[in-house]
Amino acid sequence: LVWTSASLYVYFIILFTAYILIICSNSTIVCLIWIHKNLHEPMYIFIAALLMNSVLFSTNIYPKLLNDILSDKQIISLSACLLQFFIIYFLASSEFLLLAVMAYDRYVSICKPLQYPTIMKNSTVTVLLVLTWFVSACHIAVPAILSAETKLCHLTMKGIFCNNAIYELLCLHSGVITIYGVVALIDLAILPVLFIIFTYTKILLIAYHSCKEVRKKAAETCLPHLLVLISFSCLCAYDISIARVESNLSKTVRLLMTLQTILYNPLFNPLIYGLKMKEISKHLKKLFCTTKVI
């Protein structure tokens, strides 16, 4: 892909601006949740964890990508590439698990409101968060270690960062890695999505037969999670499939589609939670809307 110097600087400015927006928007909501005591509830704590994932995901990709845009040669060591691969999929899989935990939290809150304080205690929230990140890290560490021990036959990667395109560099397409990848996909993505669908179906059925207030609460708190789930699932489906079909796509199309995976979700999450979550939206308005003192 041939770029002129002017176009390189344009892409650099666009991506740098996007990175700053991602860091500022996500961090602002996380800080609001940290500062305001009325947001110290399980639902908002899980949202803060989700947004921190976006910050870490972007920081794992953007600095190296921005450096590559301005460099004559785009080079990365195998160990750094595998680390980037691990962090990308560790955070992606933990996002699915976090969304599943958030769905469970909403189910208990709406369907079992009297039991909610005893079920979703601070200790429970801590355990769920630790398990989410621990399970994701353990699952993703295995293919990263197996890939590190496999000989490389190619040194040029088609992707702009180290995603599952690294498997094309390996001399031998390991059946163990493939089978484990399918198992990890089921454990970390498919099962959490099925659990979320089941949970929200139960919530919608109970809300439908309940009073208007319960229906309103269900819509206000569940809709943002569903929107995030749908958008993130689409991006992950693309990332999984692109390694199989990318040879049929032009470099420009592949670049533009890949950029969506690092632009869309980290910017979409704070926008959705900032606008759709009533309490967060209220604090954002107080923060950015100046009031005149008479």
Per-residue pLDDT tens digits of the chain, which is 294 residues long: 445 566 778 888 989 999 999 999 999 999 999 998 888 899 899 999 999 999 999 999 999 988 888 887 878 888 888 999 999 999 999 999 999 999 999 889 888 888 999 999 999 999 999 999 999 999 999 888 888 887 777 777 777 788 877 877 777 666 777 788 888 888 888 999 999 999 988 888 887 777 777 777 777 778 888 888 888 887 777 777 765 555 556 666 666 677 777 888 888 888 888 777 778 888 888 887 754 444
Give the CATH number for residue 168: 1.20.1070.10
Q: Per DSSP, what are the bridge partners of residue 137?
A: none
Compute the chain's Rg from CA coordinates: 21
* C-beta neighbour count of 131 within 10 angstroms: 12
Query: Look-up: residue for tokens 């499939």?
Result: 241
**C-alpha distances in Å from residue 225, one per residue of 124, 133, 232:** 20, 19, 10
Output the DSSP codes for 33-47: HHH-GGG-SHHHHHH
- 181, 89 contact by CB (below 8 A): no
- 29, 47 contact by CB (below 8 A): yes
- 107, 199 contact by CB (below 8 A): yes
Domain that includes residue 262, residue range: 5-291
Residues 62, 48, 288, CA angle at the centre, nearest 5°? 85
Query: Which pTM value belongs to this model?
Result: 0.86
Number of domains in the chain: 1
